[in-house]
Amino acid sequence: MGHLDHATFGWLTPALSYVMACVGAALGLRCTVRALETTGRSRRNWLLTAASALGTGIWTMHFVAMLGFGVTGTDIRYNVPLTVLSLLIAMAVVGVGVFAVGYGGDRVGSLLIGGLTTGIGVASMHYMGMAALRLHGQVRYDPMLVALSVVIAVVAATAALWAALHIHAPVAVAIASLVMGAAVSSMHYTGMFAVRVDVVPSSAELSGATVMQFVFPLAVGLGSYLFITSAFVALSPTARERAAYTSAERLIEPDDRAVDVAPPGFRPGAADAGAAHGTGTGRTTEAPPSYAYPAGPVDEAPARRREARG
C-alpha cells in the first residue's frame, strides 16, 4: 500500500483550503440573509449567488487541499470532465438546499430537507472529485470513515442554513463562517483519511491533467471569483439600509408643490401698478407678477372692508 501524504507543502494547503471554505461560507450566509430580506426576482438572484458561493467555496477548499495530496510510488493526474462535473454537482445540489430554506421559511421540515440535500451535495462533490483521480494503483475506502464524513457534511450544512435563518449580525456571521469552514475541512480530511491506495508500479503514462495544469488555475480563478463577489456583497446596501436612505431623502427633499403665497389681501405696490400700466412712459407694458398666486382662492373680504372704511 502506498504512503499517502495530505500536506506535501506543509501547512500551506490545509490553511489556504480552510480560508477558502470560510470565505465561501461567509459569502453564502450573507447572500442568504439578503435573500430573506427581499421578495420576487431579487430573492431568487440572491439565492443563486448564495448557491454558487457555497458550492464554489467548498469545491475550491477541496481541490486546494488536494494540491498537497501525494502518494509515494505513483504520479497523480485528474480527469478533467469529472473534475468539472464535481463543481457543477456542488453548486446544483447546494442550490437545491439553499432554495428549500429560502422559500420554505423557518420551518423544521424545510431546514432538514435543505441541510440533508446540501450535505449530500457536499459529500457527492468530494467523492466525485476523488473519482477523478488517476494513478498507478487501486483506490479503496474505509466505509465507516466515509459514513462519518457524510454525517459531518449533513450536520455542517444544516447548521449553516440554520445560521442563515437566525444570525444576521456581521460579527455573528463571521463566527458562524469560521465554524462552517472548520466543519467542511473536517469533512474533507475525514474522507481523505478513509482512502487506501494499493500502488501498482508502472511506467505507463497516466491520462488526464496534472494538478498544476488544470486544478491550480481553476482553483485560483474560482478563488478570485469568491473575493470579487465578497467585495460586491459587502458594498451592496441591505434592504434596511436602502429603506433608511429613502426615508432620509424624503426628509431633505424640497416639496415641489410649495408656492410663494402672498398674505391675504396683498396687492402689488404703486410702483408695480405704475409699471404695469405704463405710468410716466406713455406705453403700456406688462410687468411680471411679484409673487406666485396660491393654489386656492384668497379671501379678499378684509381688504374690501378696509377700503370701504377709507
The C-alpha cell of 12 is what?
500551506
| 120 touches 157 (CB < 8 A) | no
Comparison of pLDDT for 264 and 47, the residue scoring more: 47
- Residues comprising the chain, all counted: 310
Q: What is the mean pLDDT of residues 204-232?
A: 80
Helix or strand run (H / E) with residue 57 = helix 40-66
Tell me what pLDDT residue 239 has.
58
List CB contacts of 128: < 8 A, sequence separation 6 or more: 82, 85, 86, 89
Distance CA 175, CA 179 (A): 6
Tell me what pLDDT residue 251 has.
66
Q: How confident is the model at residue 233 (pLDDT cuts 50, 70, 90)?
A: confident
Beta bridge partners of 135: 76
Q: How confident is the model at residue 149 (pLDDT cuts 50, 70, 90)?
A: very high
| 123 touches 183 (CB < 8 A) | no
Tell me what pLDDT residue 243 has.
61
pTM for the structure as a whole: 0.70
Q: Out of 104-118, 130-144, 186-200, 271-285, pick the least confident.
A: 271-285
The C-alpha cell of 238 is what?
441591505
Q: What is the mean pLDDT of residues 175-187?
A: 86
